[in-house]
Amino acid sequence: MDAGLSANTAAGFRALPDPAPLAMPTQSLRQAPPRSPRPASSPRRIGLRRCLVIGGAIVLTAFGAREMYRVLAAVNGPTVLAIVMLALFVPLFAWIALSFTSALAGFCALLAGRRSPLLSDAPPATRTALLMPTYNESPQRVMAGLQAIHESVQATGAGDLFDIFILSDTTNPDVWIEEEAAFLALRARTGGHDRIFYRHRPKNTARKSGNIADWVTHFGAAYPQFLILDADSVMAGETLRHLVAAMEAHPDVGLIQTLPIITGGTTLFARMQQFAGRVYGPLIAHGIAWWHGSEGNYWGHNALIRTRAFAASAGLPELGGRKPFGGHILSHDFVEAALMRRGGWAIHMIPGLRGSYEESPPSLTDLAIRDRRWCQGNLQHAAVLPTRGLKAISRLHLLTGIGSYITAPLWLLFLLAGIAISLQSRFIPPDYFPAGKSLFPQWPVIDPVRAMWVFGGTMALLLIPKALGACALLLHKADRRGCGGTVRLVASMLLETVIAGLLAPVVMLTQSVDVAAILLGRDSGWNAQRRDDGSIPWRDTVRAYRRHTLLGLVLGGIAWAVSPYLAVWMLPVVLGLALAIPLAAWTGQRRAGQALRRLGLLRIPEEVAPPPVLLRATALQRELAATAPAGLRQLLGDAALLAAHRAMLPPPRRPRLDPPDVPLLVGRTKLAEAECLDEGWATLTPAERLACLSDAEALARMAALARA
């Protein structure tokens, strides 16, 4: 964090406000704090709500397990393969059943249409920090979103109570220079010299969670609450005002979030994601808000957090052991919410509050890259589950995070077990007299009619929530028109369901491979996300999905060898896997997405009538994208930019106290031997460039080379 403190010593320039330290102790996972009372903001009869949702899921699971047992049971009892298949079916069906009962609760809550009791119309009275952690992201995109948010907040009349912090963990030296230039330009455009701040960390310890904790420990005492944004986040000023007013009105609340709406999609895949999120998302969000109550989860960004609660309860420890399970906690949001709730603070969601927006990965491949990192983080939660003092619902959240990825290999095993049973019945003669002498043979029996009912019931639990989400949207005239009317909405639902169904086995295999790789000890790393173009070179697409295609062809061949009827039964899975390469390429294209948009399909209301803050963010992004990116020569040739950069440098190394900076030492040597700037810069590695940009002596040498 000291990277920015020296900025305050430069006359006439302050990249950061005065320090306001706040202690953030590391929390123990082995020692529970004193038991806290039930939060005052907790809904009444929350126990009954949970009994209805969880109890209903248990009843459905028990019924489904009994029917599946009857399907698989032979006259002389189930086989080993049947037992394996049943053992896989029960947790998978329970997962679907809980999602169904939660969605059903969400539908009832949507129909009730009640305003959240947390909301308040009082104007905010305390200061709020808007934090934008960024890691090698496009500075133009980041600054466009921040400026749109800043202007929207100013329009509410409460702009003086909101400060913006750009918290950079960027490791790309060229992006770092662009960030600083874009930060100065943002200040100049908005006049927010005392409201918009920037800090670049020389070492991104603990990644995003460490970035936020670093801010809390240096500036947290000055802000009663802060809100975390993502690089693609946009929020309306009125939404921020309502969130702050709600937190001020309820002193027991530690975190409040609303449902971000996915927007801005141009590729077919992104437009599918935003359509599904807009039509089905409110149903899911209202459902979990209804039965989670004051023990909700945290989804990583666009959430308002009470600074004192976060500092006192959410200091994350390092997990023991080696990566990928040990080390810093990657999926920190789930754990932070659980620790805050353990500390006595309420965690709420207000899904009916509009004005929070984000974007989707543009392609299936980009989703898989992000999922790989999330998968590792969620599997880490297995080490957090035994934490003393966690509430039961918080443990359920952690289990849900683990289950969202573990279910993929379970589905794959379930599929393979079913094929194995089919192969066994086709090629291995049954034992008609297993118990010795018997007057009548015992015929192995699998009830095809009951099997069809089990399959139909499972699909109903999967598809009914989609239908309910569409029904709830149809009840709102503006939303119905925004989706193109009833006919186009239904057509879009069918299209999204078919394509998503074909992509489901592809995602299943990808996540199964990820889980296996993580269990074998492979770390996912930390890479910047692509947020615009989903097109990928054909060679890379083939390399990424050749295993999917091969498995699909093998499964199709096996199914056909057993029976043409089995081949037809497995057609959705086989087809999705066999066509993985063209599906991934096609859904990642803008051309396909825009063609459907012109037909009025996969439309959402925010696309037809964009909110002002989104229109402004889009216009600013286009405007800023046309500007030339800043580079090393601009840094060295622009006196104001260079002075600001120097003012924000970290303090120099302390001899005999700090370890030697090897990249810096090598970089200095290379620059000392260079005869011109281009020659010297070209010989530096990215790590050496970053180190030299962080060092006053190396900067002076580069400036001298630029003048030569």
The mean per-residue pLDDT over the stretch 98-121 comes to 94
Residues 449/83, Cβ–Cβ less than 8 Å: no
> Which of 330-344, 427-441, 576-590 is least confident?
427-441
Which of 430, 426, 461 is CA-nearest to residue 444? Answer: 430
Given a cut of 90, whether residue 446 has pLDDT beyond it is no
In the numeric block, which tokens belong to residue 186?
């943002």
Q: What is the pLDDT of residue 5?
A: 39
**How far is it, in rounded angstroms, from Cα 613 to Cα 235?**
7
% of the chain residues with pLDDT over 70: 93
3-state class (DSSP) for residue 339: helix
Q: Does the pLDDT value for residue 203 go beyond 60?
A: yes
| Contact present, 51 and 246 (Cβ < 8 Å) | no
> Shortest CA distance to 511 belongs to which of 383, 413, 640?
413
Mean pLDDT of 235-249: 97
CA 20 to chain centroid:
30
Residue 11 has pLDDT above 90, yes or no: no
Confidence grade of residue 431 (pLDDT, cut at 50, 70, 90) = low
pLDDT tens-place string over residues 70-92 = 888 754 456 788 889 999 999 99
Q: What is the CA radius of gyration of the chain?
A: 28
Mean pLDDT over 252-262 rounds to 96
Summary mean pLDDT of the chain: 90
Q: How confident is the model at residue 529 (pLDDT cuts 50, 70, 90)?
A: low
Predicted pLDDT of residue 530: 63
Q: Compare 297 and 323 and report the one with higher pLDDT.
A: 297
Q: How far apart are CA 233 and CA 261, in angstroms?
A: 10
List C-alpha distances in Å: 275 to 111, 349, 597, 608: 21, 21, 11, 12
Q: Over the stretch 477-509, which tens digit does the pLDDT of each residue have?
A: 999 999 999 999 999 999 999 999 999 999 999
pLDDT of residue 324: 78
What is residue 3's predicted lDDT score, i.e. its pLDDT?
A: 41
Write down the residue that tokens 């086995």 correspond to: 505
- Closest to 343 measured CA to CA, from 379, 378, 305, 303: 305
Whole-number pLDDT of residue 9 = 40
d(Cα 539, Cα 536) in Å, to the nearest integer? Answer: 8
pLDDT computed for residue 626 by the predictor = 86
Q: Of the candidates 559, 581, 579, which has an alpha carbon nearest to the alpha carbon of residue 570?
A: 559
Q: Is the peptide bond before 409 cis (omega within 30 degrees of 0)?
A: no
Q: With contact defined as beta carbons under 8 Å apart, do 374 and 332 qualify?
A: no
CB atoms within 10 A of CB 595: 12
DSSP state of 579: T
* Tokens found for residue 482: 């925004």
- Terminal-residue alpha carbon distance, the chain: 35
CA 121/CA 243 separation, integer angstroms: 10
Strand order in the sheet with 234-235: 234-235, 356-358, 261-262
Amino acid 435: pLDDT: 55
Element (H, E) at 664: helix 662-673
Residue 6 has pLDDT above 50, yes or no: no
Give buried/exposed letters for 686-704 (b at 16+ CB in 10 A, else e).
Answer: ebbbbbbbbbeebbebbee
Q: What is the pLDDT of residue 164?
A: 98
Question: What pLDDT was estimated at residue 77?
Answer: 56
| For range 379-394, the mean pLDDT | 95
Give the distance, in angstroms, between the CA of residue 685 and the centroid of all CA atoms in the same chain.
32
Q: 563 or 125, which is more confident?
A: 125
What does the pLDDT read at residue 429?
57
Q: How far is CA 430 from CA 34, 504, 645, in A?
A: 62, 35, 79
Question: Of 508, 489, 453, 705, whose CA–CA distance to 603 is shortest?
Answer: 489
User: What pLDDT was estimated at residue 443?
Assistant: 47
Q: Is the pLDDT of residue 463 over 60?
A: yes
State the pLDDT at residue 436. 55
Asked if the model's pLDDT at residue 323 lies above 90, the reply is: no
- Whether the pLDDT of residue 22 is over 70: the answer is yes
Q: What is the pLDDT of residue 647?
A: 93
Among the listed ranges 165-169, 297-301, 430-434, which one has the minimum average pLDDT value?
A: 430-434
Q: What is the pLDDT of residue 8?
A: 42
CA distance 142 to 624: 10
Q: What is the pLDDT of residue 437?
A: 56
Enclosing H/E stretch for 473: helix 448-474
Q: Are 230 and 301 a contacting pair, CB within 8 Å? A: yes
Round to whole Å and give the CA distance between 205 and 357. 28
pLDDT at residue 12 greater than cutoff 90: no
Tokens of 631: 């580079």
Cα–Cα distance between 574 and 442 in angstroms, integer? 34
116-156, pLDDT tens digit by residue? 999 998 999 999 999 999 999 999 999 999 999 999 999 99
Per-residue pLDDT tens for 612-637? 999 999 999 999 988 878 889 999 99
Q: Is the pLDDT of residue 527 over 70?
A: no
* Averaged pLDDT, 658-667: 92
- The closest alpha carbon to 117, from 302, 236, 301, 290, belongs to 290
Sequence-separated (6 or more) residues with CB below 8 Å from residue 190 = 147, 150, 151, 196
Q: Is the pLDDT of residue 188 over 70?
A: yes
In DSSP terms, 257 is beta-bridged to: 303, 349
Q: Reply yes or no on whether the pLDDT at 36 is more than 70.
A: yes
| Exposure class string for 621-651: b at 16+ Cβ within 10 A, else e | beebeeeeebebeebbeeeebbebbebbbbe
